[in-house]
Amino acid sequence: MFGLPNIEQYFYSFTTGSVHVQDLEKELRDLRGFLSAHGVVARTAVDVGCGDGHVTARLRDLLQLDTIHGFEINPRLVEKARRRGLPIVLADVLSMTVTGNFDVAITYGAMHHFRDADPFIAALRRLSRRYVLVVDSTVRTTLLHRFTGAPWFPLEASPYRIRTVDEIVAAMEASGLRILGSHTNENANIWHDRSFILGERSDADTSQRHEPARYSGSV
């Protein structure tokens, strides 16, 4: 039966000026199934480009994490995230020299706000002892949606173009990650698909031991 969309489908639409619509509840359910299918077990995580912490808190519950940290460059969003009780660092991930031992480093919808994928993925790899998870909008295959994914398209919120899954995979492999799998939800929002890409460090500690989350270096 037809029903009105869940309000979660409009997350960030008004606060960011984006007209993108996506069903966050469904996306998180799909993500949980994707990670379970690949045997991902994590107790600590870091969310790079965490925004106001809304999704970060949901990821903590979804993955049943002991703790999740965040990095965000926007001071206003950092304060909002901290009010959710999240440990957030105000920092530019591309300028900081930080390493961490998080079970998984995540970027959720932030990668397309960076011009160059390679240094961004390299920063994620440095923060993770094993997994790197990219969740982001990706280009559809039709000519129309390649047009709407362009940075100069008037309704596209990102100043940079939306990448293909193959481009994200190539950046992850170039940083020394082994791709474990990917999943794409087609028509996930008005203009783009939405994809999950999971990588593992080639030198990963694959034991099931878990250590308290920590990071070191200069932010």
Domains recognised in the chain with CATH numbers: 20-198 (3.40.50.150)
Predicted confidence at residue 101, as pLDDT, reads 87
Highest mean pLDDT among 1-5, 31-35, 211-215: 31-35
pLDDT tens digits for range 63-79? 999 999 999 999 999 99
Highest mean pLDDT among 9-18, 122-131, 149-158, 197-206: 122-131
Q: Taken in order 20, 17, 75, 115, is the CA torsion positive or negative?
A: positive
Q: What percent of the chain has pLDDT over 90?
A: 53
At position 201, the amino acid (one-letter code) is: R
Q: Distance between CA atoms of 142 and 156, rounded to whole angstroms?
A: 17
Considering only residues 154 and 12, tell me which one the structure prediction assigns the higher pLDDT: 154
pLDDT tens digits for range 94-153? 887 777 889 999 999 999 888 899 999 999 999 999 999 999 988 876 666 656 555 555
Q: Distance between CA atoms of 64 and 172, rounded to whole angstroms?
A: 25
Tokens 């559809």 sit on residue: 140
Predicted confidence at residue 2, as pLDDT, reads 39
